[in-house]
Structure 1
Amino acid sequence: MKWNEIEHVFFDLDHTLWDFEKNSALAFQKIFEDQKINISVLEFLKVYKPINFRYWEMYRSNSVTKEALRYGRLKESFDSLKFEATDATINTLADDYIKYLLANNHLLEDGREVLDYLSKKYELHIITNGFEEVQHSKMKNSGILHYFKSITTSEEAGVKKPHPAIFEKALRKSKADPLKSVMIGDNLEADIIGAHKFGLHTIYLDTEEENIEVEFVRIEKLKELLNYL
């Protein structure tokens, strides 16, 4: 791999640039205070995180709708904690969560500095499975929207990563050659394997530091990108 041939850098957004875990925890803290939900946020998140992960896997495979994801992940979490919440309460919390999530816009460590450096050398792009109406707001509110030449969402593409059609759409929009492009993301299946199968180079951001054996370039911090790009 000749890294000096790269011209286009594609990023996933959540968990890759945008600090989803931190921003999500802050959103739940605010919601629980407002709605007087007497549950420790830390205890809730222990239960919620794996449930949310499973719902996103189902969403990627079209097993659940966006609405079912937003409702189901909260319903199952409260049920697991044996906390009684009405459907009306859960729907209110689901709406408030999106609202408060966008009020917190922390990036992963060194995110802005890395984007500032890379944007001077490459054309930067986003490919995300996140919801259309939310992802643009995240980038705008966190002050990184201007770094990106194109943004491709799964709702726009009609399919979700790792489906090849979303990578095809992103490359077409950006007029990028896959052989001169690299995809950076935290999800091994959706971001890395999906992009690799479509012919892009890849860098796996292992934010959970799982240290699993992979055939791809693996980093644990965004700043390590500068060793390659």
Structure 2
Amino acid sequence: MPVSDAKTAPHTPAPRGRARGGVRAAKRCIDCAGAAVLLLFVAPVLMAAAVAVKLDSPGPLLFRQRRTGWRGKEFHVLKLRTMHVGSERMRDAMAASNEADGHLFKIREDPRVTRAGRWLRRYSLDELPQLVNVLRGQMSLVGPRPLPVADSAFTGEARRRLLVRPGITGLWQVSGRSDLAWEDALRLDLEYVDTWSIRLDLAILRRTLPAVLRGDGAY
């Protein structure tokens, strides 16, 4: 569905997702430079986490999942594997245990998560490979989280999430993370789409590390 068909609520500002090219270019430059520097900085942590994944349970190092991104384009998001192999196929059978709502699927004591995976998830270390998605142009450092294709059949206002590149972090992630209800998470995503700026991105990035270290709502 074309992004140009997305509708804006009557009394909200025009979405910054349609911001002029110069601002978009500046955001993209910050994304590329920031992702490259961060990859160099976190390389030792990433290597240690990779070793933990391989030693803890059999299976691939990386988990790849199709997500819906900017303008509805699908891509494979990269994460360090935190679940036992075959866990995705168990999701439907565990639907009754889901503790989230809307398009979210969260189980606080998910039996599919490995021992190393619980530690990686608590401090969001499993998300570090997404810096590669940023360098590929599929994601941004800051933006709405990309949802699995199966969960992203958006209608109405929710379609406006696709006006910007999905991000590694965003308003959702620094405002409660997994503890947020879907409606609250969506409200924050749309607030970001409508008001984003370089200054807002930098403010979110500054708030991300403290939120990660506290493990706010992460499981």
Query: TM-score, structure 2 length as denominator?
Result: 0.31
Query: TM-score, structure 1 length as denominator?
Result: 0.30
